[in-house]
C-alpha cells in the first residue's frame, strides 16, 4: 500500500492541505481553510492547514491529527489501513467515505 493512502483510503497526494504544506503555499492554505470552513460549518484558519499525510510524517491538521474517528480507530487497531480491518465492510465510521468515494474504496481493496 502506498504510504500516502490514508487509513480511510483517501489519497493524501491529492489533498490540498498536504500540497500546501509540501509547497509551503500560504495562498492554497488560505483557500483550503475558507473552503473547509464552509463545508464543515466551523472556523478553520490557514495556520491549521499543515499536514504531511495521514499515515506519514508528524504534521497533521487538527481534524486529521486528533478528531478523525477513522484514524483513531485504525491506530488503536494497529492496521495498515481500514482495508486490512475485518470490519471494513460493516464499519459505520468508514461508510461516509467509501459510500461516496469509489477511489477510496478501490485503494482499500487493492491495498
**Per-residue pLDDT tens over the stretch 84-101:** 999 999 999 999 999 999
> Residue 47 in contact with residue 53, Cβ under 8 Å?
no
Confidence of residue 1 (pLDDT cuts 50, 70, 90): low
C-alpha cell at 5: 493512502
Residue ranges per domain, the chain?
12-109
Q: For residue 92, count CB atoms less than 10 angstroms from its CB and return exposed for 0-12, middle for 13-18, buried for 19 or more.
A: exposed
Amino acid at each position: 500500500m502506498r504510504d500516502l493512502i490514508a487509513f480511510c483510503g483517501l489519497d493524501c497526494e491529492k489533498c490540498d492541505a498536504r500540497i500546501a504544506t509540501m509547497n509551503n503555499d500560504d495562498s492554497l492554505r488560505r483557500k483550503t481553510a475558507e473552503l473547509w470552513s464552509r463545508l464543515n460549518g466551523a472556523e478553520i484558519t490557514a495556520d491549521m492547514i499543515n499536514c504531511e499525510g495521514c499515515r506519514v510524517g508528524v504534521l497533521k491538521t487538527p481534524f486529521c491529527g486528533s478528531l478523525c474517528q477513522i484514524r483513531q480507530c485504525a491506530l488503536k487497531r494497529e492496521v495498515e489501513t481500514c482495508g486490512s480491518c475485518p470490519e471494513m465492510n460493516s464499519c459505520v465510521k468508514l461508510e461516509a467515505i467509501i459510500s461516496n468515494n469509489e477511489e477510496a474504496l478501490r485503494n482499500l481493496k487493492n491495498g
